[in-house]
Amino acid sequence: MSDALYTVAGYSRGPDGKVKFRVANDIKRAEVLARNGHSEVSLRELPIAMSKAAAETFLQSKGARRELGGLRACVERAMSGKSAAKTRAEWNQAHAHLSYSEA
């Protein structure tokens, strides 16, 4: 048995269609999985570093597998609050010419 500890865990559906449990030490692993053809990627930061078995038990107790496919939640976890705010501000500035109100 491995003594490795992980800070990120979750599930993804691989290119073969099978859902697998995943562990990592960086939330950016979600981007790598998506780039490699995985869909329904749902990774979470763990409250403390855990073994693979402990992380799976923890996430199962939180119902993480039921959340599979939550793209918005995955993106929000992948971006820090400051990064997300900066991205929104840049988008809003670039698209300021669009009108969202009815005249």
pLDDT digits (tens, 9 = 90+) for 9-51: 998 888 998 889 999 999 999 999 999 999 888 888 888 999 9
CB atoms < 10 A from the CB of 42, how many?
24
Q: What are phi and psi of 72, to 5 degrees?
A: -60, -45
- Among 7-11, 66-70, 83-87, 95-99, top mean pLDDT goes to 7-11
User: In this predicted model, which residue has the larger pLDDT, 72 or 89?
Assistant: 89
* Residue 65 pLDDT class (50, 70, 90 cuts): low
pLDDT of 90 above 80: no
Averaged pLDDT of the chain = 78
Which amino acid would we find at residue 47?
P
pLDDT value for 25: 95
Give pTM, 2 decimals.
0.59
**Length reported for the chain:** 103
